[in-house]
Amino acid sequence: MRISIVIPAHNEAIFLQDCLDSFVGQTYLPNEVIIVDDNSSDDTFKIAKEYAKKYDWIEVVQRNSTDEHIPGKKVVDTFNFGLQQTSDFDLIGKFDADIILPENYFELIVNQFQANWKLGMCSGLLYIKKSDAWVYEKIADQNHIRGPIKLYHKACFNKIGGLRPGVGWDTVDTLLAKYHDFDTLTIPELKVKHLRPTGHGYSTRNYQSKGVAMYKMGYGLVLTKIATLKMAWQAKSPSLYFQAIFGYLQAFFQQQPKYVSKKEGKFIRSYRWKGIPSKLYSNQTPKPPQ
């Protein structure tokens, strides 16, 4: 299966070399890795260029965009810029530049896609370093395919209409895959090191955008309250709950455009409600990477 990977990168010089070394060391190499240097002011482009000179399947392009941090939208816009540079593929991957993959990452995932024709999305699990140990980054359920490390089958990617440019893009894509009857899968033994924990530098605006995303995904107010309460509990941040609800209500009264149709929104609400009981009783944590 032909694999194309796009890595949006903004000021990732401190992590990029370790990240790319983990791509180079794969037992099943991707056919192309396109690094999109998004307006970096550090050595991101220089490091990426060195790898591109050494490996003909690695390419680096530059995108000039705003320095403003626009959660969700900026990274998706950068990904889409890189997507335009890809050749034909069976699997398309959106990866971050601050991760280290186990050497068999693509090999095991390709096996899963080949074994299940309904599989639309697949990934491993993310771990962060605390003290001297790598622990599961517990900001999402273990069956959720995280944004920094996901692969899509081309049929699924096209069916869901690509990625939505905004916060929540890596949740709504999974829900839309389910809507279109694709399977999604995380592989627990694929333990990926996440060098910069998610939420690093989060602000009040970021918290509000979570509520806006839930409105755009068609959650409804009650589901949004349940979901944001869980996130606030996990983040140990009461303000996250109140700011997210404020963001939801603001989007509601402004009647901002949604990510999904009415029919898709109805499916998403039903799917989320059905999943609540199982989430209440699932709290196991996988073992850390070596």
Residue 184 has pLDDT above 70, yes or no: yes
Which pLDDT band, with edges at 50, 70 and 90, does 58 fall under? very high
22-51 pLDDT, tens per residue?
A: 999 999 999 999 999 999 999 999 999 999
The C-alpha angle with vertex 257 and arms to 225 and 63, in degrees rounded to 5, equals 105
pLDDT of residue 69: 66
End-to-end CA distance of the chain: 28
Confidence check: pLDDT of 213 > 70: yes
The whole-number average pLDDT for the span 211-233 is 92
Please give the biggest Cα pair distance in the chain.
Answer: 53
At 201, the amino acid letter reads G
Confidence of residue 199 (pLDDT cuts 50, 70, 90): low
For 261, counting Cβ atoms within 10 Å of its Cβ (0-12 exposed, 13-18 middle, 19+ buried), the class is exposed
> Domain boundaries in the chain?
3-194, 204-259
Task: Indicate whether 85 pLDDT > 60.
Answer: yes
Asked whether the CA dihedral 195, 201, 207, 208 is positive or negative, the reply is: negative
Q: Which CATH class is domain 3-194?
A: alpha beta
- HSE toward the beta carbon, residue 263, CA cutoff 13 A: 2
Question: Is this structure's pTM higher than 0.75?
Answer: yes
